[in-house]
Amino acid sequence: MKFPMHRCYASLLTAVATLTLISIPGFVGAQISSAAGWDLVGAVESPESGRIEVYLMGGLVRGSLASREFLEKVVWQKDGKTITAKNVVDCHSKVRKLVLLNEYKRHHVDGSDRYSLVRSQEPKDPAMKVEPDTLAEMIYNEVCFSPRFNSNVVSVDTRVVREQPYQKEHEQQSASAVPGRGADVTPPSEEVSEKPSPSCTYSISPGSQSFSSSGESGTISVSTQNNCQWIASTNAAWVFIDSMNKGSDNNTIRFSLSANPSAESRTAQITVEGQVFSITQGGNPESVEYTLTVRKTGNGRGTVTTNPAGILFRKGTSVILKALPSAHSAFSGWSGACSGTAQTCSIKVISATSVTAFFSLRTFTISVSPSSNGTIYPPGPVRAVYGDELTFRMFPLPGYRVSDVLIDRASVGVVNSYRFKSIVADHVIQATFVKE
């Protein structure tokens, strides 16, 4: 990939790139090799408008995708003003945005360039559209997120010039004090100097920390050399970096965690220039779920309902169980976590819990009325379950015979035996005996 550049802009490009990288280490010479350095990935000019755009990558383009932080853009106008748009593209979130807009003015004084900060503001609309088929679009698609773009870095020879952030009042006062110099020229208050880029190494403390399931906060201490910049990032949505995620020199990063709603523990990381801070957050004990097992036994039929419904319940949940026997069955009682014979039982689930409900078939009574001069067998009363069959026999005394048999006070005739079929109710049997 090649980027055209008119020769008349060579010195301007040097100044613009230098202005943008005032506090960024490693940007001296043709290309950058610092792990926290920058690469000049593109420059394009418009001779008609006298405008030149410079794109610089935070995090080396030659490095891994993970090292590429964000893209900055510098626009040089032919009227001598430089506009710096920081963080045009965030390579980690793949979001195009405009974080800060600075406008500088160039002054050529005593053979050297000076820069004064004219305006600094955050844009009203932070979203920045990158038009298709532009250099920014190419960088967005190819440089930030493509492993193939790992070598096409534009080389440019630069030197470091210190920024002079003058206010407008200072500019006007200084201009009036120098004969023949217009109001748009700011005399230098400091001489141009060259500063070596620091060799940056980074360390953090502590290297890991464990937290409870509730939302908590913590700090990380960053140690590095003076003028060394760093960026902090996290790989989890439930970790929030409260302080600025960018800084320089020795500093402290503050972060907070959201509460863990799960019973399982979870882990995350905060990375600062290759240094990893490991986070372990415990699971929420109140989120543990236990099984409620309901069994039925007995010769009867019925159902057991739970409120709330289900078989898995969080620890401490109150559950109401209700036994409902079928039409010809009866509820006999509970065992396990419930007890007694009441059809309703209330429990609190604090562990794996088991409950058994007993259902039995309904029972009925066959009553036998006493008779003289004979007997009925079996003698009453006789218990029978729902659907049973029972046979009763009449035995007269010697010299007597059966004269009538009554079932529930209704005659069934002269019979020596009677069979109750599919008993579903109480009954009474009676027999009378007479002499032969």
* Average pLDDT, rounded, for the chain: 74
Q: Is the alpha carbon torsion for 91, 96, 99, 104 positive or negative?
A: positive
The contacts of residue 302 (CB under 8 Å, 6+ apart) are 296, 323, 324, 325, 326, 329, 331, 357, 359
Query: Higher-confidence residue: 96 or 384?
Result: 384
Token pair 């493509």 in the structure block, residue: 146
The full set of domain ranges for the chain reads: 7-177, 203-281, 288-361, 364-435
> How is residue 255 written in tokens?
């972060």
Architecture category of domain 203-281 in CATH: Sandwich (2.60)
Torsion of CA 408, 413, 416, 420, to 10 degrees: -40
Mean pLDDT lowest among 127-131, 297-301, 408-412: 127-131
Domain 364-435: assigned CATH number: 2.60.40
DSSP conformation class of 408: T
Q: Dump pLDDT digits (tens) for 161-176.
A: 333 333 344 344 434 4
Give whole-number Cα distances, 326 to 140, 294, 301, 334, 384, in Å. Answer: 71, 17, 5, 16, 18
Say yes or no: do domains 203-281 and 364-435 share a fold: yes
The shares of helix, strand and coil residues in the chain, as percent rounded to the nearest 5, are 10, 45, 45
3-state SS record for 113-146: EEEEEEEEECCCCCECCCCCCCHHHHHHHHHCCC
pLDDT tens digits, 214-260: 888 999 999 999 989 999 999 999 999 986 688 889 999 999 999 99
On whether the CB atoms of residues 99 and 87 are closer than 8 A, the answer is: yes
